């Protein structure tokens, strides 16, 4: 009798605990999820999204479908993710540009990044590098600094992406130099002009720059991360070149729309971290051209807040107006 009584009490307690969890969380996931990527298919960000989506789907027992929403520098994809139902079936692979910098660079940016998204997990970093034309007289960062200080504003730089713009503006602040910005609609256009000698310098992803450097079309001056990347161990960092207080990389992290039940967002965060911490995943991320940077939701939230503050200060200092 006592054992039966204890069993009944246990069943009632379990029922009470289940009743306290929203029905949507109890049933989740009962259908495929979508992962919005604010870039087109075929690029390195898309490749990272697909490898994580595959592994995450296997853990959840549901397909995770990558949904590429390219356009307007990522604004279309960010807007779609923010408007998605907060039910845990839509994830966003955001970056320091799409969920931070673009809020200050686009006059019609449709969301408030810190309010409209819930961070889940940090995934990776993309180191950048300052490059010049192959036949440029600038052989090092010291040469670039000397030339820029000797003739303020004479040297120009190309910016086909928000990252190229912010990277160079941060350098200008850290080094106390003046470079003239030449805006482009795409990174490819700017790189073509750099290779052709119409630009003096630009800041581009290390992974996409190295083929041109190795082919002799461009020269790398310094990479922008805190440490040398395994992708280019022979190229010094900007800090090693003597410019203190400078560091730049493009981070990638996963988010959900604000309002997703905590039980679901916590489960998603845990599953993502489990995937990202697999040695095989880290190796694949490096193969794409990123550096693995696994961190939990709190760390991503702190990085996101700091990025917003840094970009705001950089935009104000540079006098950049939202377009």
Same-domain pairing of 285 and 299? yes
Phi, psi of 67 (to 5 degrees): -115, 100
In a domain, 17, yes or no: no
The reply to whether 186 falls in a domain is yes
Q: Does one domain contain both 80 and 156?
A: no
pLDDT at 19: 47
Do residues 206 and 260 share a domain? no
Same domain (yes/no): 113, 209 = no
pTM over 0.75, yes/no: yes
Domain co-membership, 75 together with 108 = yes
Task: Specify the CATH number for the domain of residue 77.
Answer: 3.40.190.150
pLDDT computed for residue 185 by the predictor = 82
**Together in a domain, 85 and 134:** no
Do the domain assignments include residue 297? yes
Cα(204)–Cα(122) distance, integer angstroms? 21
Does residue 289 lie in a domain region?
Answer: yes
**Do 180 and 132 sit in the same domain of this protein?**
yes
Q: Quick check: is 12 in a domain?
A: no
**What number of other Cβ atoms are within 10 A of residue 219's Cβ?**
18
Mean pLDDT by runs of 10 across the 323 residues of the chain is: 48 47 71 95 92 98 96 89 98 96 91 97 95 97 97 95 92 95 89 96 92 96 93 94 92 98 98 97 93 96 96 89 76
Last residue of a domain, one of 209, 241, 273: 241
Instruction: Please give the span between the terminal C-alpha atoms of the chain, in angstroms, as a whole number.
Output: 76
Owning domain of residue 96: 33-126+250-318
User: Phi, psi at residue 297, to the nearest 5°?
Assistant: -60, -40
Sign of the Cα pseudo-torsion (278, 52, 288, 191, in order): negative
> Which of 208, 241, 274 lies at the terminal end of a domain, its last residue?
241
d(CA 111, CA 81): 10
Of 207, 222, 241, which marks where a domain is finished? 241
CB 69 within 8 Å of CB 36: yes
Q: Residues 117, 255: one domain?
A: yes
Number of domains in the chain: 2
Give yes or no: residues 122 and 271 share one domain. yes
Residue 208, pLDDT score: 86
pLDDT of residue 24: 52
């Amino acid at each position: 009798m006592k054992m039966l009584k204890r069993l009944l009490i246990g069943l009632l307690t379990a029922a009470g605990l289940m009743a306290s969890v929203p029905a949507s969380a109890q049933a989740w996931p009962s259908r495929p999820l979508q992962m919005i990527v604010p870039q087109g298919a075929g690029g390195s960000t898309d490749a990272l999204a697909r490898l994580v989506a595959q592994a995450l789907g296997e853990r959840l027992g549901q397909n995770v479908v990558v949904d590429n929403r390219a356009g307007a520098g990522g604004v279309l994809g960010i807007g779609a993710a923010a408007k998605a139902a907060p039910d845990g079936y839509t994830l966003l692979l955001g970056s320091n540009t799409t969920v931070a910098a673009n809020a200050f660079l686009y006059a019609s940016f449709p969301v408030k990044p810190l309010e409209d998204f819930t961070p889940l997990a940090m995934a990776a970093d993309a180191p950048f590098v300052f490059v010049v034309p192959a036949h440029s007289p600038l052989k090092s960062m010291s040469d670039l600094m000397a030339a820029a200080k000797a003739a303020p504003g004479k040297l120009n730089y190309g910016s086909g992406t928000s990252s190229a713009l912010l990277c160079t503006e941060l350098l200008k602040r850290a080094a106390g130099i003046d470079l003239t910005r030449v805006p482009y609609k795409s990174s490819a256009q700017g790189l073509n002009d750099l290779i052709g000698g119409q630009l003096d310098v630009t800041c581009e992803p290390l992974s996409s720059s190295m083929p041109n450097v190795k082919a002799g079309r461009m020269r790398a001056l310094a990479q922008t991360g805190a440490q040398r990347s395994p992708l280019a161990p022979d190229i010094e960092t900007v800090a090693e070149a003597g410019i203190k207080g400078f560091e730049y990389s493009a981070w990638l992290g996963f988010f959900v729309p604000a309002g997703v039940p905590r039980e679901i967002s916590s489960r998603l965060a845990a599953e993502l971290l489990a995937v990202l911490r697999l040695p095989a995943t880290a190796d694949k991320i490096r193969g794409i051209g990123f550096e693995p940077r696994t961190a939990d939701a709190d760390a991503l939230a702190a990085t996101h807040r700091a990025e917003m503050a840094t970009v705001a200060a950089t935009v104000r200092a540079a006098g950049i107006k939202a377009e």
